[in-house]
A and B are shown apart, each in its own frame.
Chain A
Amino acid sequence: MSTLDDISAFLQKGRANEVAANVQKALDEGLSARSILEEGLMAGMNIIGGKFKRNEVYVPEVLIAARAMNAGLVPLKPHLVSSGVKARGKVIIGTVKGDLHDIGKNLVRMMMEGKGLEVVDLGVDVSSDKFVAAAREHKADIVCCSALLTTTMTEMKNVVEGFRTAGIREGLTIMVGGAPITDSFCKSIGADIYSADAASAADAAVAVCDKKSA
């Protein structure tokens, strides 16, 4: 097995130390930072994402794998910067105002990071103004809103309105998700994309960013 395969395999098992060690080993072998990222770390996260979608692995495994991925990124980061590897796109994510649910949103963030997107996590109970300010500051491509309660999902409409009022709705993709959200709700509030699970959300976000940069 190649070192890249080892990185992917250890990542899927959530073995943070082994992932970091093998990333270092791959660097020592002279492999490019981009291929280590894409064919090692991201390949492993992709497999986890697919299994998660099919219910074969669950939240804990995804979180452990994501932790291992972050451990692998530590030795890799300086090389990615020096070789000019850029993030595929920039995403702002948060759980809407009045809602304190964290985990679903974190899964989406990790899946997106696993696909090579740069994600700014605003946390939970995030007001419309905060979403707008962060999107402006970071020049985001995508804004992702999460809500787990039927009573807080209506807040997403305020977020969409907030971007419209601020005059930066054009060219920005707004994604929504969470247990009570449906595609028809997404359309009714004027958001762009609804995803049913974290892995699909990451796929959709990548498609948006790749289309933009193409």
Chain B
Amino acid sequence: MMHSLRVLEGKRIDEMEVEGDSSVLEAVAGLEPSRIDAPCGGKGLCGKCRIKLVGGRLSAPDARESRLLSAAELGVGLRLACLARVEGDAEIELSERGEAYIVTSGPESSAELDPPVRLVAVAPRECSLEDQSDDEARLLEAMALELDRQGAGGPAPAKVALGALQGLARYCRGGAALGAVIADGGVLSVAPLRPGARALGLGVDLGTTTVVCRLVDLATGERLGSASELNAQRSFGADVISRIEAASAPAGLEALKSRIRTQIASMAKALAESAGAEGADLVSFAIAGNTTMLHLLAGVPPDAIARSPFAPAFLSRRTENAAELGLVQHQGCAAILLPGVSAYVGADIVAGLAAIGLHEAAGRSLFLDLGTNGEIAFGGADGILCCATAAGPAFEGAGIAKGTGGVVGAIDSVWVEDGAIRFGTIGDAPAAGICGSGLIDALAAFLDCGLVDDTGRVVDAEEARALPPRLSALVGEGLGDGSGGPLLFLDRERGIYISQADVRAAQLAKAAIAAGIDTLLKIAGVGSGDVDRLYLAGGFGSLLDVRSAARIGLLPPELADRVIVVGNASGAGAVAACLSRSRLEACDRARAACAYVELSSRPDFNEAYIERMMFPGLS
């Protein structure tokens, strides 16, 4: 039985016919771009995929939905998209998504311009009855001369790829000017040189949460623009494990693959056009993504990544035809997938390490990329130890009652002033939730004020009475079933609080990161005071208040003044790989320098993990 579903979002209205008994989440899955965030992958666990029923009807809320939404919320028509099922014609409203705050900039490098993939304009000599040499030989000869004239380093291409022979046979006639794209010592494509043709490269940071693309001119090295979006796969879940699970469902891999391919392709085209060029001017992509994201992009089943012994299908750098990956329409564009270390330390980390040059740096450096999985690297020119630790999504707002991503209205900073707790929001908008940096600040403030003790327990009503009134006023009763424990309100009017259960979730997350650091330093045989610098990469690392992070024991306090915030290091590494062969090879060298440490089977990690769940006492 089919029903009609109207989906309203701001000024946009979509109407669709829906098979009866589908969930709302399933029903809107086909909409592009994907419209509803479902951090738990639509399993009815997190309560974040909220929609509003404004007309018609949906299935009555079941026990799970009634637990995740309050009676008041249900009363105004709020529902969970993954649990509410279409039972008749209905009209729903999606909350207008706040602008996501995504860090696009990273460490800039001044690498020499020597792109690994480039467009070369050549005019091979004409053939004649006397000289019947083949097109390939004449093209390669002209190419060698041209590259020599340009003073390009490295050997000239030695062959024309099979896929380019057709173009060669068709166009290599009469001394016409040709545009040939070369990569990896071969010619990828041959076509008539278009007037005004440019050679553009795109560095892609393909994250589980966000996708950041940066466009560069390969002839001049000029940065032409950047774009960032939330990953279009996120309605399949917030973390890599839920994506892997989604990929193993029937047709799941195909859906995830086409989502991300379509997204990158449209970002690439839009960036090229806004730079006054066209999509066909793209000659290379360098893609830094975690191992799961690269598997999904390549359409390779990632399920082995989720099970011990965690062996992915591929890790080494590879150069593919971008058209075959569905990223462009034209031939003659290479997609370089950057190399990764292991299932959980992927090309995104390698590109970040290469961008910073950690594998060549003097002294001892610690590198942290904090997200759902916290990746940690430690070392320098003598080698790098790296590991990944499952921090869980608490710092990305999932699994936290009033948690949210870094969107407008998210409380992103909290501090103590004149004995009271104050907060700021992204865009100075009214508080709508709490993002990761706000959560960490809030915990640090609560610890300093005695609202939370060093075991992570929120004060009870009696203890609260002993505190100054402006602090005790923040303590609230737990919700209905008491599962969340007592609440600490940041904004009582808007109902924004941190519950006891939220504090526990944050304890797990910070303990995983801190224990990962402890374990790597222990293997290296150094103390945290011996670390010369701490690089914080990723969007979360840019927003994090280092003092608060040290206060709650997420980072070693000794390193608070040795922090270097590097922003989107993997994106910077990807752009550098587009522009310079030596920087591309730096990714391979950084990867080779990395020794992966599997934490989950180490007793010392487990011990450190438990020890680090506590908060440091007042110093």
Which of B41, B245, B507 is packed against the most chain A CB atoms within 10 Å?
B245
> Is B2 part of the contact surface with A, judged by Cβ < 8 Å?
no
Encode A19-61 as 1/0 by CB contact (under 8 A) with B. Answer: 0000000000000000000000000000000000011111111
A59 adjacent to B610 (CB under 8 Å): yes
B308 adjacent to A99 (CB under 8 Å): yes
Q: B611: which A residues are within 8 A, CB to CB?
A: 60
Chain A residues 48 to 90 lying within 8 A of chain B, measured CB to CB, are: 54-61, 63
Q: A97: which B residues are within 8 A, CB to CB?
A: 308
Chain B residues 1 to 58 lying within 8 A of chain A, measured CB to CB, are: 41, 43
> Is A169 part of the contact surface with B, judged by Cβ < 8 Å?
no
Which of A56, A57, A58, A102 is packed against the most chain B CB atoms within 10 Å?
A58
Instruction: Given A54-B485, A98-B308, A101-B600, decide whether A59 and B613 contact each other with a Cβ distance below 8 A.
Output: yes
Encode B240-265 as 1/0 by CB contact (under 8 A) with A. Answer: 01101100100000000000000000
Q: B317: which A residues are within 8 A, CB to CB?
A: none
A56 to B458, CA, bound (A): 8
Option from A100, A102, A151 in Cβ contact (under 8 Å) with B245: A151
**Distance in Å from the Cβ of B438 to the closest Cβ of chain A?**
21
A60 to B457, CA, bound (A): 12
Chain B residues 468 to 488 lying within 8 A of chain A, measured CB to CB, are: 482-485
Option from A54, A55, A152 in Cβ contact (under 8 Å) with B307: A152
> Is A192 part of the contact surface with B, judged by Cβ < 8 Å?
no
A98 to B343, CA, bound (A): 14
A150 adjacent to B242 (CB under 8 Å): yes
Instruction: Given A54-B485, A58-B455, decide whether A150 and B245 contact each other with a Cβ distance below 8 A.
Output: yes
Q: B507: which A residues are within 8 A, CB to CB?
A: 58
Q: B485: which A residues are within 8 A, CB to CB?
A: 54-56
Q: A59: which B residues are within 8 A, CB to CB?
A: 508, 610, 613
Encode A124-153 as 1/0 by CB contact (under 8 A) with B. Answer: 110000000000000000000000011110
A103 adjacent to B609 (CB under 8 Å): yes
- Nearest B residue to A196 by beta-carbon distance? B483
Instruction: Given A60-B610, A60-B613, A101-B600, decide whether A149 and B241 contact each other with a Cβ distance below 8 A.
Output: yes
Option from B307, B484, B606 in Cβ contact (under 8 Å) with A103: B606
State the total of A-B contacts with C-beta under 8 angstroms: 63
> Is B456 part of the contact surface with A, judged by Cβ < 8 Å?
yes
A98 adjacent to B307 (CB under 8 Å): yes
A125 to B614, CA, bound (A): 28
Q: A149: which B residues are within 8 A, CB to CB?
A: 241, 306-307
Q: How many residues of A contact B (CB 8 A)?
A: 23
Instruction: Given A54-B482, A100-B601, decide whether A60 and B242 contact each other with a Cβ distance below 8 A.
Output: no
Encode B204-230 as 1/0 by CB contact (under 8 A) with A. Answer: 000000000000000000000000000
B610 adjacent to A55 (CB under 8 Å): no
A60 adjacent to B245 (CB under 8 Å): no
A97 to B244, CA, bound (A): 18
Option from A58, A125, A152 in Cβ contact (under 8 Å) with B613: A58
**Distance in Å from the Cβ of B613 to the closest Cβ of chain A?**
5
**Distance in Å from the Cβ of A96 to the closest Cβ of chain B?**
10
Q: B544: which A residues are within 8 A, CB to CB?
A: none
Which of A55, A103, A180 is packed against the most chain B CB atoms within 10 Å?
A55
A97 to B507, CA, bound (A): 27
> Is B577 part of the contact surface with A, judged by Cβ < 8 Å?
no
**Distance in Å from the Cβ of B236 to the closest Cβ of chain A?**
12
- Nearest B residue to A153 by beta-carbon distance? B245
Q: A55: which B residues are within 8 A, CB to CB?
A: 483-485, 500-501, 504
A102 to B610, CA, bound (A): 11
A16 to B607, CA, bound (A): 17
Which of A56, A101, A124 is packed against the most chain B CB atoms within 10 Å?
A56
Instruction: Given A103-B609, A150-B245, decide whether A58 and B504 contact each other with a Cβ distance below 8 A.
Output: yes
A63 adjacent to B610 (CB under 8 Å): yes
**Distance in Å from the Cβ of B307 to the closest Cβ of chain A?**
4
- Nearest A residue to B499 by beta-carbon distance? A55
**Distance in Å from the Cβ of B293 to the closest Cβ of chain A?**
16
**Distance in Å from the Cβ of A83 to the closest Cβ of chain B?**
34
> Is B303 part of the contact surface with A, judged by Cβ < 8 Å?
yes
A100 to B602, CA, bound (A): 10
Option from A54, A60, A150, A152 in Cβ contact (under 8 Å) with B614: A60
**Distance in Å from the Cβ of A47 to the closest Cβ of chain B?**
15
Q: A58: which B residues are within 8 A, CB to CB?
A: 455-457, 504, 507, 613
Q: B609: which A residues are within 8 A, CB to CB?
A: 103
**Distance in Å from the Cβ of A102 to the closest Cβ of chain B?**
6
Chain B residues 589 to 619 lying within 8 A of chain A, measured CB to CB, are: 600-601, 606, 609-611, 613-614
**Distance in Å from the Cβ of A124 to the closest Cβ of chain B?**
8
A125 to B309, CA, bound (A): 10
Q: A102: which B residues are within 8 A, CB to CB?
A: 600, 606
Chain B residues 404 to 446 lying within 8 A of chain A, measured CB to CB, are: none
Encode A107-119 as 1/0 by CB contact (under 8 A) with B. Answer: 0000000000000
A97 to B508, CA, bound (A): 24
Q: B482: which A residues are within 8 A, CB to CB?
A: 54
Option from A60, A98, A151 in Cβ contact (under 8 Å) with B244: A151
A125 to B598, CA, bound (A): 14
A60 to B456, CA, bound (A): 10
A56 adjacent to B457 (CB under 8 Å): yes
Encode B474-518 as 1/0 by CB contact (under 8 A) with A. Answer: 000000001111000000000000001100100110000000000
A152 adjacent to B504 (CB under 8 Å): no
B600 adjacent to A57 (CB under 8 Å): no
Chain B residues 351 to 394 lying within 8 A of chain A, measured CB to CB, are: none
**Distance in Å from the Cβ of A154 to the closest Cβ of chain B?**
10
- Nearest B residue to A63 by beta-carbon distance? B610
- Nearest A residue to B483 by beta-carbon distance? A55
- Nearest A residue to B302 by beta-carbon distance? A151
- Pick 30 A–B contacts, CB within 8 A, sort by A: A54-B485, A55-B485, A55-B501, A56-B485, A56-B500, A57-B457, A58-B455, A58-B456, A58-B504, A59-B508, A59-B613, A60-B455, A61-B455, A63-B610, A97-B308, A98-B308, A99-B307, A100-B308, A100-B600, A102-B600, A103-B606, A103-B610, A149-B241, A150-B241, A150-B242, A150-B245, A151-B241, A151-B244, A151-B306, A151-B307
Binding site for A on B (CB under 8 A): 41, 43, 241-242, 244-245, 248, 303, 306-308, 455-457, 482-485, 500-501, 504, 507-508, 600-601, 606, 609-611, 613-614
Closest 4 CB pairs of A and B: A98-B307, A151-B306, A100-B600, A55-B485
Knowing that A58-B455, A58-B613 touch, tell me 13 more A-B residue pairs with CB under 8 angstroms: A54-B482, A57-B455, A59-B610, A97-B308, A99-B308, A100-B601, A102-B606, A103-B606, A149-B241, A150-B41, A151-B245, A151-B303, A180-B43
